[in-house]
């Protein structure tokens, strides 16, 4: 009987749940769990940045302003060291992307499905990186330099260069997505295998998969974004 129960037991990993559907302009839209949690994350970040950025003074007189200036300085230093001084205008985007990625991944601590476990979320971030790369190539090399970059160093490299342009954001998205989902799968497998004996493991696993891994994957993603954009310069 025990063997039958074991055989009938199943472990499954489901995608984002569908929260609701609505119709607009004759089209049906499906609102997923990932979208709802993303909105929640954006609201949290908006409130946080509003609180940190209000009533700033030339000379910091509060811990709040000191914390705000430290965060700005941290991201400004990341952009300067990785991309160079000429790319300092990317600091707000890199900072927002880093914070959004971390907070999205940390939603697992609240019992919610992390939006970063949805390929459409991290895929959209990678798509933005792809657009920024193409924009920088066109800006630095012009139309002629942009198209010339696809046949460098020799014309027969054209298909390989095109594949490389697509492979970079694709691997960037899959890396982030895969690491977050693997945490969900491994944690679920352990809970499933140990059953009622999995006492204390949720907290231990969260230290890695929800905290350490969240910061690590966010750092890797923004570092790759900065590297891809800054290296996309045409002569």
Res. 230: pLDDT tops 70: yes
* pLDDT tens string 194-211: 666 655 555 566 666 677
pLDDT band at 5 (very low <50, low <70, confident <90, very high): very low
* pLDDT tens string 145-188: 888 888 887 888 888 888 988 999 999 999 999 888 887 777 76
Mean pLDDT of the chain: 82
**Is the Cβ–Cβ distance between 57 and 48 less than 8 Å?**
no
What does the radius of gyration of the chain's CA atoms come to, in whole angstroms? Answer: 22
CA distances from 208 to 32, 44, 126, 146, 214 (A): 27, 23, 24, 42, 8
Res. 190: pLDDT tops 50: yes
CA distances from 32 to 37, 66, 99, 112 (A): 9, 38, 22, 12
pLDDT for 10? 55
55: which 2 tokens?
A: 């009533």
3-state secondary structure of 19: strand
């Amino acid at each position: 009987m025990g063997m039958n129960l074991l055989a009938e037991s199943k472990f499954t990993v489901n995608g984002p749940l569908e929260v609701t559907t609505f119709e607009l302009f004759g089209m049906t839209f499906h609102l997923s769990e990932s979208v709802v949690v993303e909105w929640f994350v954006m609201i949290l970040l908006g409130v946080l940045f509003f609180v940190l950025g209000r009533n700033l003074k030339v000379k910091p007189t509060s811990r709040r302003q000191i914390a705000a200036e430290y965060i700005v300085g941290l991201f400004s230093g990341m952009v300067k060291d990785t991309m160079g001084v000429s790319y300092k205008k990317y600091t707000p985007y890199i900072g927002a992307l880093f914070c959004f990625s971390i907070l999205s991944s940390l939603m697992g601590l609240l019992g919610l499905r992390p939006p970063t476990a949805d390929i459409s979320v991290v895929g959209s971030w990678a798509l933005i990186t792809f657009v920024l790369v193409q924009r920088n190539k066109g800006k630095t090399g012009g139309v002629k330099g942009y198209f010339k970059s696809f046949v460098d160093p020799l014309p027969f490299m054209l298909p390989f260069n095109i594949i490389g342009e697509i492979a970079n954001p694709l691997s960037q998205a899959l890396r982030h997505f895969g690491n977050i989902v693997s945490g969900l799968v491994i944690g679920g497998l352990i809970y499933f295998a140990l059953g009622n004996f999995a006492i204390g493991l949720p907290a231990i696993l969260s230290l890695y998969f929800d905290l350490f891994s969240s910061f690590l994957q966010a750092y890797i993603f923004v570092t790759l974004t900065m590297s891809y954009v800054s290296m996309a310069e045409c002569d």
